[in-house]
Amino acid sequence: MVVLTFTDEFTSNVKPRRLFKALILDAPNLIPKLMPEAIKNVQLVEGNGGPGSIQEITIAERDNIKHLKHRIDAIDLEKLTYNYAVIEGDAALEEVDSISHEIKFEATEEGGCKTKNVSKYHPKEGVDVKGEDFKAAREEGLALLKVVDAYLVANPEAYAEGNINSDEFTSTVQPGRLFKALVLDAPNLIPKLMPEAIKNIQLVEGNGGPGSIQEITIVEGQLYHFTLIFTLSFLFLFFVT
């Protein structure tokens, strides 16, 4: 079985981290707003937004595709890379078992960004596919990138890095591992580690991305409420910006 591999590139004047925030981290909120005629909804249906999580995309009325499911395979906030696979999706997977994408955001000498998307189509056994069969899907992906890029150019304050007061802490633990435990898995881990202070942490609004709201239930008699909210918010900004 031959895997079809394509590499698509797009150059932008927007800085890599800013484009990464908008296109990847805040996609569930931003994409349906920018493209309501194409995307109805993007929501996290499994996981916490890290590797192994699954997003469901509801497509606006079309003949052959009504929904897609993406599995997040890897996300690196330092290297600005994002890998995911299409694992479910009406006509999108009629001829292939899965579609994987490896997206990388790199800075250019001009101060902008070069986005590279390596996509791999894994045909079903016995199915003969050609590159032309996936041309439309690749063009739609590029169109989405251009829409987000145009929005950021027209709104220079959106997803811009501001001046943030910060504290520092040095650890021998690798950044990615600490980020997973302290930020991505905080609702599960923190109450286990601090049961005398934190009863529960739950997502009450949003999908875990920017704009979402977490509710922290404090053990009676403790005074950690505002400190904890500040700390969680600070940690998210520290790792993402």
Whether residues 140 and 27 share a domain: the answer is yes
pTM given for the model: 0.65
Show which of 154, 183, 199 is a domain's final residue.
154
Please tell me the total count of domains within the chain.
2
Tokens of 126: 């016995």
CA distance 180 to 177: 5
Q: How far is CA 8 from CA 19, 90, 134, in A?
A: 16, 24, 12
Its domain, for residue 230, covers 175-240
Mean pLDDT for the stretch of residues 216-221: 74
Out of 43-47, 58-62, 202-206, least confident range = 58-62
Whether residues 230 and 196 share a domain: the answer is yes
E-assigned strand segments in the chain: 4-12, 39-46, 54-59, 67-76, 81-88, 96-107, 113-123, 198-205, 213-218
Task: Give the per-residue pLDDT at 182.
Answer: 86
Show which of 154, 184, 209 is a domain's final residue.
154
Q: Are 28 and 55 in contact (CB under 8 A)?
A: yes
CATH number of the domain residue 189 falls in: 3.30.530.20
Is position 163 within any domain?
no
Highest mean pLDDT (candidates 117-121, 209-213, 218-222, 230-234): 117-121
> Which residue do the tokens 């016995």 mark?
126
Whether residues 126 and 185 share a domain: the answer is no
Whether residue 64 is predicted with pLDDT greater than 90 in this model: the reply is: no
Q: How far is CA 155 from CA 39, 95, 131, 151, in A?
A: 21, 40, 36, 6
Report H helices in 121-182: 135-154, 175-179
Whether residue 226 is predicted with pLDDT greater than 50 in this model: the reply is: no
Whether residues 73 and 17 share a domain: the answer is yes
Whether residue 107 is predicted with pLDDT greater than 90 in this model: the reply is: yes
**Letter for the amino acid at 232?**
L
Out of 77-81, 133-137, 153-157, 224-228, least confident range = 224-228
pLDDT digits (tens, 9 = 90+) for 162-195: 533 445 678 888 888 888 888 888 889 888 888 8
Whether residue 210 is predicted with pLDDT greater than 90 in this model: the reply is: no
Is position 61 within any domain?
yes
CA distance 101 to 90: 18
Whether residues 181 and 147 share a domain: the answer is no
Within a 13 Å sphere around the CA of 72, how many CA atoms are in the beta-carbon half? 22
Which DSSP category does 183 fall into? I
Task: Give the per-residue pLDDT at 162.
Answer: 56
Whether residues 137 and 32 share a domain: the answer is yes
Whether residues 219 and 141 share a domain: the answer is no
Whether residues 88 and 199 share a domain: the answer is no
Whether residues 133 and 180 share a domain: the answer is no
Is position 161 within any domain?
no
Whether residues 91 and 205 share a domain: the answer is no
Which DSSP category does 162 fall into? -
Show which of 124, 154, 184 is a domain's final residue.
154
Whether residue 237 is predicted with pLDDT greater than 70 in this model: the reply is: no
| Conformation bin of residue 225: beta by default, left when phi > 0, alpha when psi is -120 to 50 | alpha
